[in-house]
Amino acid sequence: MNNKLSAWIQASRPKTLPAACGPVILGSALAYEMGENFSPLIFILTLLAAVSMQIGTNLVNDYYDAVRGIDSEKRLGPTRVTQAGLIPAPVVKRGFILCFLFAVVVSIYLMYIGGSTIIIMGILCILAAYGYTGGPFPFSHYALGELFALIFFGPVAVWGTYYLQYKEFNLDIIILGLGPGLISAAIMSVNNLRDIESDSKTQKVTIATLVGEKFARAFTLSLVLLSTFIPYYAYLKLNLSWSILATITCYPFFLTWKQIAKAPIDSKLNLALANTGKYLFLYCAVFSLGALL
């Protein structure tokens, strides 16, 4: 039982969950600051839906990369449970279906209060989560992984969360959502940098395989750098003065950025991947706290 539970926890990839939680926290904080009737229930349901969608996406990735032969014993990333035989492929498939169904169930109330806007966004999110590595045109296999991470873990997640609480279109919130979106894209970029050799052998197309190692490193760091400029928009346009503190949250991860820039491409990049996820969460937490002050 413990081995099975450990395998499922490994398959869910807990280190990726900040990518789901951070934007929801930021969108909720912005809604709380600008609105009057903040609902803790909506916040909890949104967080549950986001986390279950992220876990479902991870299971889809684990399943399809195994059955398509993308994953092998030589990959530098953490063990994939389907490829390693820790969980049978049909069981993993049922797992991601259940995750998506759970996300739909907890989102019923959200769709009711959010109307057609949230229903459409929810459908698009599920399609994107599945289509990332599943379906006839897996986005991550055609150099679109960073773009979809930027969109769905950035403006879509932040503005969608904000809309559920505040019920209005706000371009400023979409722009602020670019912050976590850029960092989520950087997480994807680190992943693709680490797997550049194995992806090339399996003919999986990523930005890293297209531009090569040198430019892939620069691209990843550029995404991180761009994220630090977004809090200035909150300061200058929305007068959220303390949110500018989010610009300095990248500094504790200096060694991570140095590793991405110069270190050999090996399994140690898994630590850089995890630390970029931590940066995303810290960035959103400080940004959110600054918005509330």
Q: What is the pLDDT of residues 255-265, one digit of tens each?
A: 999 999 999 99
Stretch 274-288: mean pLDDT? 96
Stretch 86-97: mean pLDDT? 94
d(CA 181, CA 153): 5
What pLDDT is attached to residue 1? 56
Place of tokens 């200035």: 232
Write down all domains in the chain, each with its CATH number in brackets.
18-291 (1.10.600)
**In this predicted model, what pLDDT tens digit does every residue of 187-209 receive, in sequence order?**
999 999 999 998 888 888 999 99
Q: 79 pLDDT band (50/70/90 cuts)?
A: confident
**Which residues, other chains included, contact 139 with Cβ-Cβ below 8 Å and sequence gap of 6+?**
128, 131, 132, 133, 145, 147, 148
CA 220 to chain centre: 15
What pLDDT is attached to residue 5? 87
Least confident of 9-13, 157-161, 282-286: 9-13
What pLDDT is attached to residue 51? 95
